[in-house]
Amino acid sequence: MKNRFVEWSKKKYTKKQRFIALIPEVIFFLVIIPLCFFVGPFYIDRWLNIPSLILGPLNLFTAIFLIIFGLLFSLWSIQVQFKIGKGTPAPMMPTQKLVITGPYLYCRNPMYFGAVILYLGIAVLTRSLSSFGIVILTISAILIYIKLIEEKELTARFGQNYLNYCKRTPFFIPWIRKDKKNKI
């Protein structure tokens, strides 16, 4: 499978092709999955008779902040992959070069981090205990995918440059760097 990823990364795609490839991913991760976090817990909570969480008056403010922050962080990551990496998050149309700027300066998986923050914001907004459970399952699935597939694929494509980047940059939770250059 690694060889297939390497082959895909060598193909050149136009901006139009890359943009078209982004559409299903954006719809899935930023529309369908969040919609499932709104609708699914309603039915799960009713079926399992789980009461809603009672959160304070800052619930709505916190939820909106998390949703907007997560959405913007994810979109920023996609934009940097598209513009600088000359690729997309889609495995069949990956970046042509290792991206270590923008949000990738702060963590190696900013798109997933942003999505998780977005999903947590939805869980806060819905005040659903099952929604938080679904977020935890989603985070677990994302982390397993990254560790078992994505990191191996990136190592196969970018070799020592990626390994050096991994040594200097946190895996999932961003942190502010004092040296903003993060050179490889």
What is the spatial distance between Cα 119 and Cα 3, in angstroms, rounded to a whole number? 33
Tokens matching residue 161: 């440059």
Instruction: Reply yes or no on whether the pLDDT at 85 is more than 80.
Output: yes
The architecture (CATH level 2) of 2-168 comes to Up-down Bundle (1.20)
Q: Which residue has the tokens 């976090």?
A: 37
pTM for the model stands at 0.83
- Higher pLDDT, residue 44 or 181: 44
Of 72, 94, 99, which Cα lies nearest the Cα of 84? 99
Instruction: Reply yes or no on whether the pLDDT at 130 is more than 70.
Output: yes
Each domain of the chain, given as residue ranges in start order, spans 2-168
Query: pLDDT grade, residue 179 (50/70/90)?
Result: low
